[in-house]
């Protein structure tokens, strides 16, 4: 009796779903489900619906119409945007600095480069008139730098060497050493377009950096052969030309006395094994002997 009563009670706890077709009522179908099955079905349907809605909002354009706030993603992407902005600012500063170095190098290699008010770099074609004006202005600048004013008393003594006070301060602020062993065969002669000093020596002798700095160029040029250009503090640059081989690459940082090349006879303008050494200040060549601390003249 107890089993029969339990059987009847289980039937009472079930629901019957009847499906009756419109055309033929005799083909009706019955489905019996328990309450827990009905509730489980509803929950499953709701869960599937929520998942489908999230997928639609995430992977279709419909998500733009109903944006879902996500504080975690907003904080993450906000920090990434700040980091990218800082990196872009640093890159812009580096580009400006590289452009300045590029202009100085191109001027040092003989190009007539100018900058317009908008920041555009222009190359002025070389003509006889432009070269004449350029050489005249360079001679005036060299005269102003290398030839200081002399008092009437000093003019009466032609052999008295005089150095300007500004040049003495520059020599202290930029101490350099002679880059290689050898004999100085020619000095600084800007009037004859010789903007450095020549040091004759043995092929293969080490050439060292005259002062601390970063190598901005290390490569081959047609006229000067293998060339190294080092950028120093306070807008100084040093040039090492006609080398036999190069020991440092562009972008390397060197200390005073570090080997950077070997002495040679490369380039079409070289007439024998020697180093042609130049020092430039603010884009203008200056007499290297004014900045040497180990030079015996």
Pick the more confident residue, 248 or 163: 248
Residue range 152-165: mean pLDDT, rounded: 38
pLDDT tens across 60-72, in order? Answer: 776 666 666 666 7
- Answer yes or no: pTM beyond 0.75: no
pLDDT tens across 188-244, in order? Answer: 999 998 999 999 999 999 999 999 999 999 999 998 999 999 999 888 999 999 999
pLDDT bucket at 145, cuts 50 / 70 / 90: very low
The pair of three-digit structure tokens given for residue 157, joined into one six-digit string: 């003594």
Cα angle 161, 278, 280; round to 5:
85
The pLDDT score that the predictor gives to residue 124 is 57
pLDDT bucket at 282, cuts 50 / 70 / 90: confident
């Amino acid at each position: 009796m107890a089993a029969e009563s339990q059987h009847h009670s289980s039937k009472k706890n079930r629901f019957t779903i009847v499906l009756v077709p419109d055309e033929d009522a005799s083909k009706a179908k019955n489905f019996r489900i328990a309450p827990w099955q009905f509730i489980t079905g509803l929950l499953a349907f709701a869960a599937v619906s929520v998942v489908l809605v999230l997928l639609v909002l995430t992977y279709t354009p419909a998500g733009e119409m109903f944006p879902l706030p996500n504080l975690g993603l907003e904080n993450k992407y906000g920090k990434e945007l700040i980091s990218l902005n800082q990196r872009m600012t640093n890159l812009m500063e580096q580009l400006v600095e590289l452009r300045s170095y590029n202009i100085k190098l191109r001027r040092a290699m003989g190009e007539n480069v100018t900058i317009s008010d908008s920041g555009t770099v222009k190359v002025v074609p070389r003509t006889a008139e432009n070269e004449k004006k350029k050489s005249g202005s360079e001679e005036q600048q060299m005269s102003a730098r290398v030839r200081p004013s002399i008092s009437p008393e000093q003019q009466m003594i032609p052999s008295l060497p005089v150095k300007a006070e500004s040049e003495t301060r520059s020599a202290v602020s930029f101490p350099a050493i002679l880059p290689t062993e050898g004999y100085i065969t020619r000095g600084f002669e800007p009037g004859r377009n010789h903007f450095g000093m020549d040091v004759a020596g043995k092929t293969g002798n080490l050439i060292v950096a005259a002062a601390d700095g970063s190598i901005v160029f290390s490569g081959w040029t047609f006229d000067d052969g293998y060339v190294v250009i080092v950028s120093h503090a306070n807008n100084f640059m040093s040039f090492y030309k006609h080398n036999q081989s190069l020991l440092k690459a562009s972008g390397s940082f060197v200390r005073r006395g570090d080997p950077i090349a070997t002495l040679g006879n490369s380039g079409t303008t070289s007439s024998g094994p020697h180093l042609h050494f130049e020092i430039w200040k603010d884009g203008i060549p200056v007499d290297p002997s004014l900045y040497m601390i180990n030079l015996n003249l």
